[in-house]
Amino acid sequence: METMEYSIKDLENLSNIKAHTIRIWEKRYGIIKPERTQTNIRFYSDEELRKLLNISILIHNGIKISHIAAFSAEEIKEKALYLLQNPNDMENQVKNLVISMIELNESKFERILSKSIINIGFEKTMLNLIYPFLVQIGVLWQTGSINPAQEHFMSSLIRQKLISSVDSVEPNVLKTSKRFVLFLPEGEWHELGLLFYYYLLKVRGHHVLYLGQSTPANSLVESKEIWPMDYLLLFISSGFAGLSYDEYLPDLALKFKEQQLIVAGEYMKDQKAILAPNIVFVKNALEFIQLIDSIS
């Protein structure tokens, strides 16, 4: 696989170490070594990113950089692996997931997720480990610094966990149970968030009709005649779906004026305008949990 090129800003976002500090370490200790493009622009390789992530784990555990500088690259890796044995240290485990993604190391990625699920449960693993991980690597998607193979690799593994967890939920229908239709608008394909919300609804005993990716609006209208619903939940992850959401959402709200539309996703998290009285925006999973718990 072709090695990726990371900017110092990428390193800062992934390691939580300031770019200024990284440059000081380069000059003082030579511990991180950038390369240069043909046009003399500095960049960092996969190997240097992995090394910095391991260094940040040691720093997080109180080891001084002056001591770390005396270690070999292999010693840094070994000491970081030892510290990563604590499954409760979510900050370090997020960095460990990033390293696993860069290496395309499926067994390591799977082991981290499985240990966390056993230790704190699936819902808390999603909230405290997977979500911070997705936020952490979001900058790589935006800057094109993530290899498509790496993106598909980690998305596929997380998706498998989500589907498995949804399937494992025993039906527990209550008198207060509501009926939800879950979907992504046409052109939207990133369904990890929608799958997690599916799990949250199902584990709380609600009825869910999951329509998934890139659902045409006319299909939603047709489904209303077959499957009565109380709520529609849609995820909008990007602004590249070819839709004007200021027009799409009010039009959808009009078609479903007897239902409430719950709109989630990174692209809409800062939305404040009231587009229709039956539209509500949720910024994150915790806000969604509060919402569905209040209607149960």
User: Are 106 and 198 in the same domain?
Assistant: no
User: Are 198 and 236 in the same domain?
Assistant: yes
The token duo for 61 is 């555990």
Assess if residue 2 is contained within a domain. no
The token duo for 248 is 């799409």
Average pLDDT, the chain: 88
Tell me which of 167, 195, 218 is where a domain ends.
Answer: 167
User: Are 150 and 221 in the same domain?
Assistant: no
**Cβ neighbours of 201 (radius 10 Å):** 24
User: Are 161 and 71 in the same domain?
Assistant: yes
Token match 């000491």: residue? 79
Whole-angstrom distance, CA of residue 194 vs CA of residue 200: 10
pLDDT in tens, 5-24: 888 988 888 888 999 999 99
198 phi, psi to nearest 5 deg:
-60, -45
The pTM of this model reads 0.83
Give me the torsion for CA of 171, 116, 136, 234, rounded to 10°: 0
User: Are 31 and 162 in the same domain?
Assistant: yes
- Whole-number pLDDT of residue 207: 95
- Whole-number pLDDT of residue 236: 85
Tell me which of 128, 143, 167 is where a domain ends.
Answer: 167
Asked whether 259 and 227 are in contact (CB, 8 A), the reply is no
Tell me which of 118, 135, 167 is where a domain ends.
Answer: 167
Residues of the chain falling short of pLDDT 50: 1
- Whole-number pLDDT of residue 13: 84
Tally of domains in the chain: 2
Domain housing 199: 171-295
User: Are 134 and 66 in the same domain?
Assistant: yes
User: Are 190 and 226 in the same domain?
Assistant: yes
